[in-house]
Amino acid sequence: MKADFMKKVLSLLMVFSIMAASFIIPVAFASSVNEETTISKEDEEKIENIRDQQAALEDKIKETEDKLNALKGDIAKQEAYVSELTGQIDNYQSKIDVLNKNISSLQGNIDSVQSQINTLDKEIESIEADINHNQIETINTQQEIEDVYSDLKERLCEIYMYGSASTVEMLLGCENFSSFLILLELTSGIAENDSAMIDTLNDRIAQIAVLTEEYNLMIEDIEVKKDEHKKQIAVLEEKQSEIEASRSELQASQDKITDLQSTAMNKLDSLDKQSDAYKKLVKKYEDEQAAFDREIEKILANASHGSGDVETVEDGFIWPLQYSDVYISSYFGGRNDPITGKYKTHYAVDTCCWSGTLGKNVSAAASGTVITATRHSMYGYYVIIDHGNGIATLYAHNSKLLVSEGQKVKQGQTISYAGATGYVKGAHVHFEVRVNGQKVNPLNYVSLNSR
């Protein structure tokens, strides 16, 4: 009969084991997904407006292109052709301005989205840390339950061995574990430490229930955060693709302007100097030169500090074209402007190579920081390097730039490839030295022997 009774005891212990196991928390959690992303309606409308401007310019460019094709072969209409040509240059410049605005707006969107992604990363990391803490606490609580349960099993055996059969049979007859605990507590002969064990067990079971609820809430929260994170990443990638497309179109437009400017310059000599087309082209050239000078003055005013002294530049200056066949095609000082024919001061030294200048490496004359590397309709692709103490150098008409704003460069480092961008009649390097914002003769600082 004791054997049958032990079977019932073991059955009871097995039921309790199953009940205890039911509190084990899951260790894996769902991967993710979320709520609406946060590009503002105002920003989206701004970008849409820019796209409308771009579409209108495309129509205008196409219309002017048709006119140019109609006039191109008619010698008698060359003035009209050049007039349309300058208009087309303006059209492409407007398109470039719009593309730059679009890129700027998209970059602002990207920065905003990236900030949100960074915030979500931190929130997800914090929730994962809380989940890990919850799991550790749950495991420890489960272990406490197992320890108390083990003690209760021993106590049950004692009741079986030394207690009355009726008491044990009543305990075994309980329908559930809660009834078992209540009856055990009410049964005569329960010691004070037995009651404490039962209280501890009840507390830990309640604690497991709380931990499990907290865990489930955290899982729901992290799923929402991860979903939002995924959507924000998708928005980021979409905006980055739009920027790349705009940059590609920007490059194509800049190349087109270079071609149009070259064509216009080649036509200039054949025009009647009194014609409206000639005067319009010359005025455009002079206006853009003045605008470029104002732009450079502003850039330098924000960058260079202190008084200029060439001796403060480490290792002095070297020649921008480091080739044995380099020569000066135009000196600093008075000359007849190659575009307009007017006598004026040339505030730079133009250098070329007898073997051909296009694509040649352009070197930094001295070490310093790039304060701008961009394109202007007048001087094409250009770079300005701040050497400190008020001294800066400028390299213009490049075919390609190899450095960017804020970059540190070493003396002799290749910063660009020589070209013929902007208003020029051939490939060369336009090299300026400015001290405290004033244009000075580069030959006071560097000679052909420093190549």
Ordered DSSP codes for 370-421: EEEEEEETTTEEEEEEEEETTEEEEEEEEEEE---TT-EE-TT-EEEEEB--
What is the rounded average pLDDT of the residues 140-154?
A: 81
- Mean pLDDT of the residues in the chain: 80
With a pLDDT cut of 70, the percent of the chain lying above it is 78
Which tops the pLDDT comparison, 326 or 7? 326
Q: What is the reported pLDDT for 13?
A: 47
Q: What is the reported pLDDT for 149?
A: 76
Q: What share of the chain is helix, strand, coil (3-state, %, to 5)?
A: 60, 15, 25
Q: How confident is the model at residue 55 (pLDDT cuts 50, 70, 90)?
A: confident
| pLDDT(60) > 70 | yes
Q: Are 379 and 341 in contact (CB under 8 A)?
A: no
Candidates 77, 422, 86; CA nearest to 271 is 77
Distances, alpha carbon 312 to alpha carbons 226, 308, 388, in Å? 55, 8, 8
What is the rounded average pLDDT of the residues 244-255?
A: 90
What is the rounded average pLDDT of the residues 316-332?
A: 92
Q: What is the reported pLDDT for 128?
A: 93
| pLDDT(129) > 90 | yes
Least confident of 195-204, 206-215, 389-398: 195-204
Tens digit of each residue's pLDDT (9 = 90 or more) over 82-100: 888 888 888 888 898 899 8
| pLDDT(14) > 50 | no
Residue with tokens 């296009």: 358
| pLDDT(402) > 80 | yes
Distance CA 334, CA 329 (A): 14
Q: How confident is the model at residue 352 (pLDDT cuts 50, 70, 90)?
A: very high
Q: What is the reported pLDDT for 401?
A: 94
Kindly report the pTM of this predicted structure.
0.64
Q: What is the reported pLDDT for 10?
A: 46
| pLDDT(246) > 80 | yes
Q: How confident is the model at residue 306 (pLDDT cuts 50, 70, 90)?
A: very low
| pLDDT(32) > 50 | no
Encoded tokens for 87: 């208009």
Q: How confident is the model at residue 25 (pLDDT cuts 50, 70, 90)?
A: very low
Q: What is the reported pLDDT for 187?
A: 54
Q: What is the reported pLDDT for 244?
A: 93
Which tops the pLDDT comparison, 183 or 346? 346
Q: How confident is the model at residue 218 (pLDDT cuts 50, 70, 90)?
A: very high
Tens digit of each residue's pLDDT (9 = 90 or more) over 378-394: 899 999 999 988 899 99
Q: What is the reported pLDDT for 46?
A: 78
Candidates 116, 141, 117, 118; CA nearest to 214 is 141
With a pLDDT cut of 90, the percent of the chain lying above it is 36
Q: What is the reported pLDDT for 182?
A: 59
Which tops the pLDDT comparison, 161 or 241? 241
Encoded tokens for 79: 């003035």
Tell me, what amino acid is at 264? Answer: A
Q: How confident is the model at residue 241 (pLDDT cuts 50, 70, 90)?
A: very high
Which tops the pLDDT comparison, 237 or 48? 237
Distance CA 255, CA 111 (A): 29
Q: How confident is the model at residue 261 (pLDDT cuts 50, 70, 90)?
A: confident
CA angle centred on 321, ends 320 and 326, rounded to 5°: 135
| pLDDT(416) > 90 | yes
What is the rounded average pLDDT of the residues 232-249?
A: 92
Q: What is the reported pLDDT for 367?
A: 93
Q: How confident is the model at residue 227 (pLDDT cuts 50, 70, 90)?
A: very high
> In what helix (H) or strand (E) does residue 361 lie, and over which residues does it extend?
strand 361-363
Encoded tokens for 432: 């300026």
| pLDDT(28) > 50 | no
Q: What is the reported pLDDT for 202?
A: 82
Least confident of 139-148, 153-162, 323-332: 153-162
Q: Does domain 281-450 have CATH number 2.60.120.920?
A: no
Distances, alpha carbon 256 to alpha carbons 224, 291, 435, 447, in Å? 48, 21, 34, 35
Candidates 423, 97, 450; CA nearest to 287 is 423
Which tops the pLDDT comparison, 50 or 170? 50
Residue boundaries of the structural domains of the chain = 2-255, 281-450
